A and B are shown apart, each in its own frame.
Chain A
């Protein structure tokens, strides 16, 4: 067997590589394919950046999202603490209201300020009465307005910075849906780009496709090279796009470190390469779905 193979190899002149069409043989790679690779690579890179951003936001939010509480401050000596507490408990989606004594608040502040020598007694007399609100999962649009209304009725003040953080958390979860939507739209656009490229290749090779059908080739045999080509362009573009994410990861490393965020680009390798291959194969299926020769049996 080995002798036979080597004899056959001797039959083939040097620098000549027979390329038989159809089946699992890839067609030649030309300028159209190269351009499609670049365009799809840029799209996949943009997708990678989007999901890296989601990853960073997830890590950043994840560091405090478990402890989201809203604090309401009632000036010391107003004497309406109990009424305020009841009013806050009546706000829908407020799952708990804890009254923080002035002593506890003073003790926490002293540790936060590194015990700078403030008198505990002095602080207790100056600090307002604090209520810590725990919120439920289903955040309604009027939750913070309701809390603010309840607080203002008793002359109390809401910590607006905490309200803003809670809102950011809500927006980030909405952004996740947007990221998926953008990914789907981009995937469709990439499939159409690859489909268009392969259609040009198909036009250039229409004679070959027609001839293969005349010779009784099965449809998968005729279409497989194009599907392989599409998948290869997609996978190649995904890999290149992933490589191009690394300069971004390295360039933002210091800045993200300040936010306790460590980006992991390796997580995106498989989704980008496989997603690219899938999108490429889909584009090829779209391109080849309508190639019908005059002599196609119907």
Chain B
């Protein structure tokens, strides 16, 4: 596999890095009979920043869902952190999700709960006690510049702030991989760049970030590996 990488050096040294995600001839067919992905062969090493691009319906979201076990490949091989996603047991998928941060375009914050409760949720799932949660949540909120909104409710925040809360939630458990499904889709250019800054910062700390996006202009200011999908197939890489 040939990869042209305009990104910083730490993102491009694939050859000497361990594969985080390994895909060989992966096909995904939904129960309805629609084939969402076919013949995908891809290798994502640890520590990369990967953009998944393509038109609507190209299969970006389906690919991300496969990475966290939301759907299973119909055929082919998909390994995420060494876990075979076709054969993995329920407990294996859960364990993987505990070490995966997920950011959605609609951020999926719980509006009846405070920012603290939202951001603490991944740690709560992992069994952290409340006395340990507050300092940790405060720290990640400081990273996204919203430490003063710890006890606010999400509806009191702007769209950009809500997306930053979603980033804080995704990073709070210190995951090895962050999957972002069009996190800048509903944001203006300036806010989108700030969101990208945070994700880039996490990537520079060693987290692998895989982000589905339409905003190709962001690639100029925030370069990374680009995986292009078209009609469910791999159309190219850059």
Asked whether any CB of chain B lies closer than 8 Å to the CB of A20, the reply is yes
Task: Choose, from B1-9, B91-99, B185-193, the stretch at the interface.
Answer: B91-99
The number of chain A residues touching the other chain, given as a range, is 20 to 34
Contact B113 A19 (CB under 8 A): yes
Asked whether any CB of chain A lies closer than 8 Å to the CB of B81, the reply is no
Contact A16 B108 (CB under 8 A): no
Contact B116 A214 (CB under 8 A): no
Asked whether any CB of chain B lies closer than 8 Å to the CB of A218, the reply is yes
Contacts of B133 in A (CB 8 A): 20
Asked whether any CB of chain A lies closer than 8 Å to the CB of B68, the reply is yes
A13 to B121, CA, bound (A): 19
Contact A221 B125 (CB under 8 A): yes
A215 to B101, CA, bound (A): 8
Closest to A1 in B: B131
Contacts of A221 in B (CB 8 A): 125
Contacts of A114 in B (CB 8 A): none
Contacts of A218 in B (CB 8 A): 94
Tell me the count of chain B residues lying within 8 A, CB to CB, of chain A: 35
A80 to chain B, nearest CB (A): 85
Asked whether any CB of chain A lies closer than 8 Å to the CB of B204, the reply is no
Contacts of A4 in B (CB 8 A): 131
Per a CB cutoff under 8 Å, which of B68, B93, B100, B108 touches A211?
Answer: B108
Asked whether any CB of chain B lies closer than 8 Å to the CB of A22, the reply is yes
1/0 per residue A179-222: CB within 8 Å of B?
Answer: 00000000000000000000000000001100110111110010
A13 to B108, CA, bound (A): 25
Query: Given A23-B124, A207-B108, A221-B125, A216–B130 Cβ distance below 8 Å?
Result: no
Contact B94 A8 (CB under 8 A): no
Contact B120 A217 (CB under 8 A): no
> Would you list which residues of chain A between 54 and 104 have a CB under 8 Å from chain B?
none
Contact A13 B151 (CB under 8 A): yes
Contact A16 B98 (CB under 8 A): no
Contact A212 B125 (CB under 8 A): yes
Per a CB cutoff under 8 Å, which of A21, A211, A215 touches B98?
Answer: A215
Contact B117 A216 (CB under 8 A): no
A21 to B125, CA, bound (A): 9
Closest to A211 in B: B108
Between A214, A217, A221, the greatest number of chain B beta carbons within 10 A of the residue's beta carbon is seen for A214
Contacts of A298 in B (CB 8 A): 72, 90
A223 to B134, CA, bound (A): 25
Between B68, B114, B116, B124, the greatest number of chain A beta carbons within 10 A of the residue's beta carbon is seen for B124
A214 to B71, CA, bound (A): 12
Asked whether any CB of chain B lies closer than 8 Å to the CB of A295, the reply is yes
Contact A5 B131 (CB under 8 A): yes
A16 to B117, CA, bound (A): 12
A1 to B117, CA, bound (A): 23
> Would you list which residues of chain B between 69 and 122 have a CB under 8 Å from chain A?
69-70, 72, 88, 90, 93-98, 100, 102, 108, 110, 113-114, 116-117, 120-122
Per a CB cutoff under 8 Å, which of B102, B113, B135 touches A214?
Answer: B102
> Would you list which residues of chain B between 124 and 149 have a CB under 8 Å from chain A?
124-127, 130-131, 133-135, 138
A218 to B92, CA, bound (A): 11
Query: Given A214-B97, A215-B98, A295–B65 Cβ distance below 8 Å?
Result: yes
Query: Given A214-B97, A216-B94, A295-B65, A22–B108 Cβ distance below 8 Å?
Result: no
Contact B68 A214 (CB under 8 A): yes
Contacts of B65 in A (CB 8 A): 295
Contact B151 A16 (CB under 8 A): yes
Asked whether any CB of chain B lies closer than 8 Å to the CB of A117, the reply is no
Contacts of A13 in B (CB 8 A): 151
Query: Given A20-B121, A22-B125, A216–B95 Cβ distance below 8 Å?
Result: yes
Asked whether any CB of chain B lies closer than 8 Å to the CB of A18, the reply is yes
A-B pairs, 5 with minimum CB distance: A216-B97, A216-B98, A297-B93, A295-B70, A217-B125
Given A20-B124, A216-B93, 19 other A-B residues pairs in contact with their CB atoms under 8 A: A8-B135, A11-B138, A12-B134, A12-B151, A13-B151, A20-B117, A20-B121, A21-B113, A22-B124, A207-B108, A208-B110, A211-B108, A212-B121, A215-B98, A215-B102, A216-B94, A216-B100, A216-B126, A298-B72
